[in-house]
Amino acid sequence: MSIVEVVKQRFTTKAYDASRKITAQQEQELLDILRYSPSSLNLQPWHFFAITSDEGKETILPGIRDFNAAKVRDSAMVVVFTSKDTLDDAQFSKVQQQEDLDGRFKDEETKNANDKGRRNYIAAYGGSDEDLRYWMERQTYISLGFLLLGAAAMGLNATPIEGIDPVLLDERLGLKEKGLHSLAVVAIGHNSEKDFNASLPKSRLSEETVITRL
């Protein structure tokens, strides 16, 4: 199946079959999709909570709006997307050290120039602390899109969920102490026969409405 066919066939799941789990290989592939998602300057300003246990789901359920609780409870995996509160020196250093380990620099001069360029870019265009926080949140949402597409390509169903109580969810996961805040949740698994959305035709605005060719 081509990537376009995957995009056209995927849909937002409304109900999951709690008896159907995902395999260990599928779980690892989903985590790989998250980790390899792109971000501007490769700064990866995120952290993902991958939850498959009933205990883990119970931990976050108080931070999920009631109308989304069943999706979280019945899905095979739930991913909580969190973004960093601030972009500190530790994050620059952590990314650079990993890039060095992965062999991205031909010499020390290249490594230092890359680090300097990244820091200078943020200093010049990052704006206020609030602007920078918003910028990091946008990077995190890129990974959410990758996960939705990746899950569909794997034959799995998924539901993006912004119906959360971020204050309560942050509290349940201890995010403030970790310098993080929650943005959204994605439930993944196999849909059930109660999923009315599975049989509905996909509907999108026309190409002429949303795309301008120049």
Q: Could you tell me which residues come within 8 angstroms of residue 50 by beta carbon, excluding any fewer than 6 positions away?
A: 27, 30, 31, 34, 77, 78, 79
Catalytic residue among 57, 71, 84, 137: 71
The question of whether 5 is a catalytic residue gets the answer no
The question of whether 71 is a catalytic residue gets the answer yes
CB count in 10 Å sphere of residue 213: 5
Catalytic residue among 14, 29, 111, 171: 14
Least Cα distance to 108 among 91, 96, 120 occurs for 96
The phi and psi torsions of 149 (rounded to 5 degrees) equal -70, -40
The question of whether 207 is a catalytic residue gets the answer no
Q: Could you tell me which residues come within 8 angstroms of residue 163 by beta carbon, excluding any fewer than 6 positions away?
A: 64, 65, 67, 68
Catalytic residue among 162, 178, 194, 202: 162
- Would you say 44 and 158 are in contact if contact means Cβ atoms under 8 Å apart? no
CA distances to 15, 79, 122 from 137, in Å = 28, 16, 15
Least Cα distance to 196 among 8, 15, 17 occurs for 15
Q: What amino acid positions are annotated as catalytic residues?
A: 14, 71, 162
